[in-house]
Amino acid sequence: MTSKELREILTQTIDDRPREGRQYFHVCWWNDGLCCLPTMHTTEKHDIFFMAPDTVLDAGLSERQMELIGERVTDFCSRRRIRLTQIRRRPVPASGPSAQQGLQITDFDRARLQTLLGQLDRHDASRRKEAARLQMLLKKADVVPSREIPQDVVTLNSKVRVKDGRNNRSMVLSLAFPTETPSKETTDEENVSILSRVGLSLLGRRVGEQIDGRMKVDELLYQPEAAGDYHL
């Protein structure tokens, strides 16, 4: 396995961690697979490779941190003679918005995001993290024609109302490209870059789904495809 393939596995493992208000997670070997789980998910002894707060994982680990986890996982697999070829995915709950489908993006959005990915400056550390997260999202998402995307899925240029589960406050967000400026017409609406942590968490989500551990997609106020604005 190449270092790039291992990094992709580690990135997706961390991104797939359960988001239910947990604060601390560790990357570990659990139930015959590589996982990123809450630190108190079990009292049984098991192999742990890295531990960090949820906020640190959301912000993106440094190059050295990813290298360190990779070295530990590689050493573990070598000693156990384990061939780490693919990610063992967490079971999806039998109920809730995500029970039917995973992330969905339109073919038009995917093409634009692939172009954006190619324009990111990989020599900048923050850009490398953004590029890695965006690339992983594009790999995980199911691509559907723009005219067939469900009307409750967040797409680029959608306007959504999200609710904070901690204080029950709501805010309106518009999912935009990083070059677009925030709207000045309203004070309760904010443009969120697709490259931001929140932006990447929103894209492809359905109404009712949780994002970022505590936020929920409460209402989809505008979706270009539902409105027939296929050029947006």
Nearest to 175, CA basis, from 201, 195, 200, 157: 157
Nearest to 198, CA basis, from 181, 217, 180, 179: 217
Find the DSSP H helices in the chain.
3-15, 54-59, 63-80, 107-119, 125-140, 197-202
Q: Is the pLDDT of residue 186 over 60?
A: no
Two tokens at 129?
A: 């993290």
CATH topology of domain 102-222: Chitinase A; domain 3 (3.10.50)
Q: What is the pLDDT of residue 123?
A: 61
Strand bridging mode 189-193 / 215-222: unpaired
21: left (phi over 0), alpha (psi -120 to 50) or beta: left
Q: Label residue 208 by pLDDT band (50, 70, 90).
A: confident
**Mean pLDDT taken over the chain:** 82
Residue where the block lists tokens 């690339």: 135
Give tens-digit pLDDT for 64-110. Answer: 999 999 999 999 999 988 887 654 444 433 334 333 357 899 999 99
Q: What is the pLDDT of residue 98?
A: 38
Q: Is the pLDDT of residue 39 over 50?
A: yes
Nearest to 107, CA basis, from 152, 141, 133: 141
d(CA 169, CA 12): 30
Q: What is the mean pLDDT of residues 39-67?
A: 88
Q: What is the pLDDT of residue 101?
A: 52
CATH 3.10.50.30 in the chain is located at 102-222
Q: What is the pLDDT of residue 22?
A: 65
More confident: 230 or 188: 230
Q: Is the pLDDT of residue 47 over 70?
A: yes
Nearest to 117, CA basis, from 60, 226, 194, 172: 194
Give tens-digit pLDDT for 125-179. Answer: 677 778 888 888 888 888 999 998 998 999 999 999 998 877 888 999 999 988 6
For the chain, percent of residues with pLDDT exceeding 90: 31
